[in-house]
Amino acid sequence: MAHGPPVSQSPKVNQDVDEDIAMAAPSLKIRRLAGALGAEITGLDLAQELPDATIAAVRQALVEHQVVVFRDQDLTPAQQARFGARFGPLNIHPYVAGMADHPEVMEVIKEPQDKVNFGGGWHSDMSFLERPAIGSILYAVEVPAFGGDTLFASQAAAYEALSPGLRATLETLSAVHSASREYSAGGHSAQKRSSMAIAEADGLAGEYVHPVVLTHPESGRKALYVNPAFTIRIEGWTKRESKALLDFLFAHARYEAFTCRFEWRKGSVAFWDNRSVWHFALNDYPGQRRHMRRVTVDPWPVTAAARRSRVAETVT
Ligand code: SIN
């Protein structure tokens, strides 16, 4: 018996796009990981300075598959930052300290004695900012003997599985996001641990409004853009009203058929698109160490010319 909502195969995920990518960058091979999202890219050494065509192909694969993974990489923090910076300016996390000599590289560490992990709940990175990160690139330095996988959920597939009626309603709504719950005292991310220096939000986190349905600026594909960690209410609705809708969306959005699961090995890299993907770091390896490094890619700054053309579009 089938459980859960139907999953439509997106017309955007198709063989032609992967063939276009293969033509642009012949060394690069793409193998899909699951029905809704995810692909493994082979044939690339991310430590090298890659040609523009290869970077464009990786970007196209990311937009297409929403999360792309690489195996057997060997990256210094500087090489990881250089690769990430090809996709946009790198974010300096407002609460989590970066490396002393690379503030844009964040170490995600769980020591054997730590009880909580970082990222151990469904979320989309940095949706609590005015201009949220477009992607995150995580590199495995040390992995536990078992456990510590990361789950990903396609919010595009989640959106597409809703009825036309609810999709149309959601498109009229915006939601308020804030770091306050997660990074305030007692919040999951701010909990004390021996491994990471994380500041408390201290009531200063700020609130930012984003559409509930985000149209991907590169693919035009629509996706749900609310998440349990950072979305605190629907704009203009009470907390009680918001909770009813958000609880439904949060339960729907993590239906198994929208997900894929990545089992890390030392040297693995995952690059996910925060505009259409949730992720969840599993905390199922007590007593073991897990050490990752993350760079987070911000959107390019909006240029004055782009701003002018947007205004022109609105007024014509
Ligand atoms: C994160 O949320 O960035 C951490 C993901 C992970 O460690 O798997």
Q: How far is the CA of 281 from the centre of ligand 1 (A)?
A: 5
Pairing mode, strands 98-99 and 231-234: unpaired
Question: Is any atom of ligand 1 closer than 6 Å to the C-beta of 119?
Answer: yes
Protein residue closest via CA to atom 6 of ligand 1? 281
Assign 69 a pLDDT band (cuts: 50, 70, 90).
Answer: very high
Here the tokens at position 45 are 């050494």
**How many Å is the Cα radius of gyration of the chain?**
19
pLDDT of residue 2: 44
Question: Is any atom of ligand 1 closer than 6 Å to the C-beta of 294?
Answer: yes
The answer on pLDDT for 71 being more than 90 is: yes
Per the DSSP assignment, residues forming a β-bridge with 106 are 98, 294
* Mean pLDDT confidence for 111-132: 94
- Reduced to 3 states, what is the DSSP secondary structure of residue 152? strand
Q: How far is the CA of 117 from the centre of ligand 1 (A)?
A: 9
pLDDT of residue 128: 93
Q: How far is the CA of 202 from the centre of ligand 1 (A)?
A: 23
List pLDDT tens digits, range 200-241.
666 556 899 999 999 999 999 999 999 999 999 999 999 999
pLDDT of residue 180: 85
The answer on pLDDT for 8 being more than 60 is: no
pLDDT of residue 313: 44
DSSP string, 262-283: E---TT-EEEEETTTEEEEE--
Active site residues: 123, 125, 279, 294
Distance of alpha carbon 68 from alpha carbon 136, whole angstroms: 11
The answer on pLDDT for 195 being more than 90 is: no
Question: Is any atom of ligand 1 closer than 6 Å to the C-beta of 281?
Answer: yes
Question: Is any atom of ligand 1 closer than 6 Å to the C-beta of 292?
Answer: yes
pTM (predicted TM-score): 0.90
List pLDDT tens digits, range 238-294.
999 999 999 999 999 999 999 999 999 999 999 999 999 999 999 999 999 999 999
The answer on pLDDT for 12 being more than 80 is: no
Would you put residue 72 in left (φ > 0), alpha (ψ -120 to 50) or beta?
left
The answer on pLDDT for 185 being more than 90 is: no
The answer on pLDDT for 139 being more than 80 is: yes
* Mean pLDDT confidence for 13-37: 79
254 closest CA partner among 172, 176, 161, 180: 161
CA distances from 298 to 93, 107, 158, 160 (A): 11, 18, 24, 26
Please state, for a pLDDT cut of 90, what percent of the chain lies above it: 75
Helices and strands (DSSP H and E) totals, the chain: 8, 16
Which residues, 6+ apart, have CB-to-CB distance to 124 below 8 Å? Answer: 132, 155, 225, 227, 230, 274, 275, 277, 278, 279
- Domains (ranges, CATH) in the chain? 15-310 (3.60.130.10)
User: Ligand 1 atom closest to Cα of 270?
Assistant: 8
Torsion angle (degrees, nearest 10) of CA 152, 178, 218, 50: -70
The answer on pLDDT for 311 being more than 60 is: no
The mean pLDDT value of the chain amounts to 89
- Pocket probe mutation, ligand 1, options 67, 96, 105, 108, max atoms within 8 Å of Cβ: 108
Per the DSSP assignment, residues forming a β-bridge with 185 are none
Burial class (CB in 10 A: 0-12, 13-18, 19+), 207: middle
Q: How far is the CA of 181 from the centre of ligand 1 (A)?
A: 18
Question: Is any atom of ligand 1 closer than 6 Å to the C-beta of 68?
Answer: no
125 closest CA partner among 116, 117, 134, 112: 134
- Pocket probe mutation, ligand 1, options 230, 292, 293, max atoms within 8 Å of Cβ: 292
Per the DSSP assignment, residues forming a β-bridge with 49 are none
pLDDT of residue 1: 41
